[in-house]
Amino acid sequence: MDATTLSNLTSFLLFHLGWVALATLAALHLLLTWRLRRPRIYLLDSACYKPDSRLRVPFSLFEERARAFNCYHPSNIDFQMKILRKSGLGQETSFPPAILRIPPDPTLATSREEAESVIFAPVASLFARARIDPSEIDVVVANCSVFCPTPSLADMIVRRFGMRDDVRCYNLSGMGCSAGVISVGLARDHLRVHADQRALVVSTEILGENVYLGNQPSMLVSNCLFRMGGSAIILSNRESDRSGAKYELLHVVRTHDGARDKSYRCVCVEEDEEGILGINLSKDLLSAAPSALRANIVKIAPLILPLSEKLRFLWNRLLARRLKSNSSYVPDFTRAADHFCIHTGGRAVIEELQRKLGLSEEHVEASKMTLHRFGNTSSSSVWYVLGYVEAKGRVKRGDKVWQIGLGSGFKCNSAVWRCVRDVEAAEDGAWSECIHRYPVSLPLYKEQSN
């Protein structure tokens, strides 16, 4: 190849490479402009249901009611008490009146009453605290996995608070304990499309109709873990709301492991051999939870980990492949988030996620203490956990909060928030009267669970 031909070829390549580079820069500019134009989603405030002290169920009352129901074999009463003592729940968790009655009264009417209690109180508190009139809400998202009445829970909220006739309503059912994060994702998608709007998101689980009165051990476990609870939050895409907001929503990541049979059936509402309805929690739950978490981490890690951790993870993965090793590097997730709000599915679940994420006892303190004080409140639990951290005065401007919800299906869903101002404890919050007593040590449960 002579000098002239080489020179012409070089000029040709430089010319076209220049256009490619220019086109790439233009595409990146458009992408960046589009991302910056996407509305930011703010969390104005949140509120959680605080049960009346008359609804508390200490272990002694739980055992008394179990015997008085006259439906459990004596061995299964002992089984429930053993599970309860190892569960991590304390003496102040609450049942609805329908379960506390002798005999229990699991009817549609009592379930509606329970729903009105756990939903209306936190929503009313939230409106008062945020100084927002119900007429200013543009979309309502409610979720409750098992109890699905007609009219829906979302309809009940609209009617109770006299909202506008053009308010958009969504009611999610059958989505399990991770539905709180799913509801946030649904509200986010709406707010990304519709400008200058506010969304009310309500999460709960109704227990009255779900008390299990049979004798299958795997279905008795739900009696020992689930307790009354509900939460309400307000999201907004209005820039005028930024100054009064607590958090900005950064990411919502959802993963579903339902294609695997064991994961799909590990949490299931079904009838036992005698035709008695209940929630079946199989032993596969403890393997399904970390499996679903692993899938969620793969999706969310690139979004939240700092560059140094991403490079370290990539290097260790390449090294493991070259050496044909099964060992894998676990990123330091404490560099990605300052506060971890893990769903209070049970003490074993919390501790398994703690191990998988490499977290300290301090990082899971809020989840364990929420389980101790309120029990497993299903989809609302991540908001009780966040309420604990706020009540302790630990959330400061710039902090990142990672909420992790686990639920039937089997699903793992995450929401990541950035705090936009120092957060003070709410005077009327669910933790306001008892936060000074926490954290508490749980040596008895550890001892008996070995």
Which DSSP category does 101 fall into? S
- How many angstroms separate the CA atoms of 230 and 348, rounded? 23
Q: Which of 359, 385, 396, 402 is nearest to 439 (CA)?
A: 385
Q: Which of 228, 408, 421, 414 is nearest to 333 (CA)?
A: 414
Residues taking part in catalysis: 177, 256, 339, 343, 372, 376
Q: Which residues contact 45 (CB under 8 A, 6 or more apart)?
A: 126, 129, 130, 233, 234, 246
SS3 for 402?
Answer: strand
What DSSP string describes 128-192?
Answer: HHHT--GGG--EEEEE-SS---SS-HHHHHHHHTT--TT-EEEEE-S-GGGHHHHHHHHHHHHHH
For residue 162, report the phi and psi dihedrals to the nearest 5 degrees: 60, 50
Alpha carbon separation from 142 to 119, 199, 230 (Å, rounded) = 10, 11, 11
Question: Which amino acid is residue 328, in one-letter code?
Answer: S
**Residues 49 and 190: beta-carbon distance below 8 Å:** no
Question: Which amino acid is residue 202, in one-letter code?
Answer: V
Nearest 10 degrees: CA dihedral of 416, 423, 47, 123? -100
Helix (H) or strand (E) holding 79: helix 74-86
Is beta strand 411-419 parallel, antiparallel or unpaired with respect to 247-256?
Answer: antiparallel
- How many angstroms separate the CA atoms of 346 and 325, rounded? 33
- For residue 203, list its beta bridge partners: 143, 231
- How many angstroms separate the CA atoms of 201 and 45, rounded? 11
Residues in the chain: 450
- How many angstroms separate the CA atoms of 365 and 389, rounded? 9
